[in-house]
Amino acid sequence: MTEQIVIAPLVVALVAAVLTLGTKYWPRLQRAVSVAGSLAYLAVVAVLFETVRTGGILTYQLSDWDAPFGISVVADSLSAFMLVLAGVVSLVALVFAATYVDEFGQRLSFHPLFHFMMVGVSGSFLTGDIFNLFVWFEVMLMSSYVLVVFYSGAEHTEAALQYVVLNLVGSAIMLLSIGGLYAVTGTLNMADLSRRLADPAAYGVDPAPVLGLSAILFAVFALKAGIVPFHWWVPAAYRAAPAPVSAVLAGVVKKVGVYAIIRLYFTVFSVASFGGLGLPGFAGDSLLAFYGPVLFLMAIASIFLGGFGAIDRDNLDDLLAYSSIGQVGFIVLPLAIGATATGTVPGTGGTTIRTLAITAALIYTVNHGLAKGGLFLVSGAIFEAVGSIEFDDLGGLSERAPVLSVGFLVAALALVGVPPLSGFFGKFLVFDTAAQALAVDAPGARLALVVALAGAILTIAYVTRAWNRGFWGPPSEAVDDAYSPRGQIAVALLLVVAVVAVGIGFDPVYEAASEAARAALDTEGYRDAVLFLGGGLA
């Protein structure tokens, strides 16, 4: 029975999608089923998290085909951690959508699409097979295409067109690199892949092409995560999508790209070593040594482009979208340090800097998922209340809608990193990672510190500007006429409360994140759990 819990999130989301499709003629029932489905999803994910926490890695071999011949579904601490984040954000967003998206839209397609998207997200977090990852990406993307173009007005179709074409090209490229990896290594199973890469001579694998193919794959993941230079679809898509969908796109779907980078590059490809590049800046002959500088550049570019871009937006959603680009930079920055720095953190009994780095990235992921999700919902509530999110039409919201404004302020302060909110620990761990790397003289650590500091200042700048223009000052005409969508404000505040709760009760979250980071780096454990428990290969 414990085995089946691994695929339970997938099944629950799929059942919810089908049921909401079948109940579309009874809108109230459909809404109830949809919310119940999302609640059940969170419950199942929580059970899975607890099972993995106490029992270690769980695997499920589809149709009982032993790995690596069948498709493996694997839940380890990292997958479970990401799933819990997805469960929380998607539940709140869905409840918000139940009052936000118009009646017709909900009946038409919103609920099934939302759940299908969650099927794709869960599948991507759980799969142990790279081709299967492609399939789940497609499931997730196909639903997100329709959700982005949901209002199907002029600007929505245009944003969606960009988003669709870009991702279709991305999918073709992903297929190419997966095909190449299969031809070079002879397997698609991630655990088997890591086994073959760890001992290339025994399996007749040439590790050199793996570097190039994995780099192509990396571009696809960076596209999903919206990291510079693959970020340009982000603002248009987030602006076009309904607010609860933007919350999930920024809070969850983006994180699928981050997860894939951690899972494939830190768990699987990290074991491979090739002759070294012999280029300045690329030290060492591990595959990760190549990604270190690449991740650095992308993180720095993201932080600056997102930060500077967000400062002069004149629309709240645009600002949040650019801020998302910058914040993903903060997630990638510790990963860059983790990829370059080897060595242990002094005084911790052998915790490597790499573990600390991934922990920092995961904590930042949680913070960004909750805070940015909350901010997009707040932005949706403002749109509902005022009828616009252009800064020119806003102003003085703190007088007319004090509760909503407090929600915005708290979530925005979490982005900045003010204690005791979750963002403080996110930023703190990023700085800590950079400082520890500096202590062992890792290349780039000083630069990382400077960039993180500059990025933090940029965050303060754009958050302050949004607050000044939207919430302070005399209420504008539109704000004066605003009504108060109580239900939506209450739902949006749930994520804000989560931001505070994670900050105050930080210890269990930190424990979970560092457990997830250890799982991400425990290639051996992952390999053994997937390949041997099926009883097939010895």
Backbone φ and ψ of 344, nearest 5°:
-115, 160
Q: Shortest gap between Cβ of 316 and other proteins (angstroms)? A: 18
Beta bridge partners of 352: 344
Whichever of 210 and 499 has its CB closer to other proteins, that residue is 210
Applying CB under 8 A, among 176, 283, 403, 438 the residue interacting with other proteins is 176
Round to whole Å and give the CA distance between 298 and 347: 31
Round to whole Å and give the CA distance between 433 and 332: 12
Applying CB under 8 A, among 1, 154, 201, 538 the residue interacting with other proteins is 154
Our finding on whether 62 is near other proteins (CB under 8 A) is no
Residues ≥6 apart with Cβ < 8 Å to 347: none
Stretch that binds other proteins, among 60-68, 159-167, 297-305, 507-515 (CB under 8 A): 159-167
Q: How far is CA 494 from CA 83, 235, 249, 362, in A?
A: 18, 25, 18, 21
Identity of the amino acid at 270: S
Backbone φ and ψ of 72, nearest 5°:
-100, 140
Our finding on whether 157 is near other proteins (CB under 8 A) is yes
Whichever of 175 and 457 has its CB closer to other proteins, that residue is 175
Our finding on whether 172 is near other proteins (CB under 8 A) is yes
Round to whole Å and give the CA distance between 350 and 356: 11
Round to whole Å and give the CA distance between 107 and 373: 24
Q: Which positions from 224 to 263 touch other proteins by CB under 8 A, shown as an x/- string?
A: ------------x---------------------------
How is 212-273 classified by DSSP, letter by letter?
HHHHHHHHHHHHHHT-TTS-TTHHHHHHHS-HHHHHHIIIIIHHHHHHHHIIIIIIIGGG-B
Our finding on whether 273 is near other proteins (CB under 8 A) is no
Round to whole Å and give the CA distance between 259 and 362: 9
Whichever of 143 and 340 has its CB closer to other proteins, that residue is 143
Whichever of 160 and 442 has its CB closer to other proteins, that residue is 160
309 touches 324 (CB < 8 A): no
Whichever of 177 and 352 has its CB closer to other proteins, that residue is 177
How is 371-404 classified by DSSP, letter by letter?
HHHHHHHHHHHHHHHHS--BTTT---HHHH-HHH
Q: Shortest gap between Cβ of 168 and other proteins (angstroms)? A: 4
Q: Shortest gap between Cβ of 182 and other proteins (angstroms)? A: 6
Beta bridge partners of 273: 286
Whichever of 215 and 447 has its CB closer to other proteins, that residue is 215
Our finding on whether 110 is near other proteins (CB under 8 A) is no
Whichever of 212 and 276 has its CB closer to other proteins, that residue is 212
Q: Shortest gap between Cβ of 396 and other proteins (angstroms)? A: 28
Our finding on whether 183 is near other proteins (CB under 8 A) is yes
Q: Shortest gap between Cβ of 153 and other proteins (angstroms)? A: 6
Whichever of 85 and 149 has its CB closer to other proteins, that residue is 149
Applying CB under 8 A, among 180, 443, 473, 487 the residue interacting with other proteins is 180
Applying CB under 8 A, among 57, 73, 164, 495 the residue interacting with other proteins is 164
Whichever of 172 and 504 has its CB closer to other proteins, that residue is 172
Whichever of 206 and 511 has its CB closer to other proteins, that residue is 206
DSSP single-letter state for residue 344:
B
Round to whole Å and give the CA distance between 446 and 267: 26
Tell which positions 122-151 bind other proteins, by CB under 8 A.
131, 134-135, 138, 142, 145-146, 149
Using alpha carbons, select from 148, 152, 322, 143 the residue that is nearest to residue 234: 322
- Can you tell me whether residue 343 is helix, strand or coil? coil
Our finding on whether 179 is near other proteins (CB under 8 A) is yes
Residues ≥6 apart with Cβ < 8 Å to 445: 337, 341, 434, 435, 437, 438
Whichever of 159 and 375 has its CB closer to other proteins, that residue is 159
H or E stretch at 165: helix 154-185
Residues ≥6 apart with Cβ < 8 Å to 62: 70, 71, 72, 73
Q: Shortest gap between Cβ of 241 and other proteins (angstroms)? A: 14
Our finding on whether 175 is near other proteins (CB under 8 A) is yes
Our finding on whether 160 is near other proteins (CB under 8 A) is yes
What tokens appear for 184 in the block?
Answer: 């070079």
Applying CB under 8 A, among 43, 47, 108, 161 the residue interacting with other proteins is 161
Our finding on whether 312 is near other proteins (CB under 8 A) is no
Our finding on whether 303 is near other proteins (CB under 8 A) is no
Q: How many CB atoms lie within 10 A of CB 462?
A: 25
Applying CB under 8 A, among 27, 29, 70, 182 the residue interacting with other proteins is 182
Q: Shortest gap between Cβ of 71 and other proteins (angstroms)? A: 11
Whichever of 135 and 454 has its CB closer to other proteins, that residue is 135
Q: Where does this chain bind other proteins (CB under 8 A)?
A: 131, 134-135, 138, 142, 145-146, 149, 152-155, 157-158, 160-161, 164-165, 168-169, 171-173, 175-176, 178-180, 182-183, 188, 236
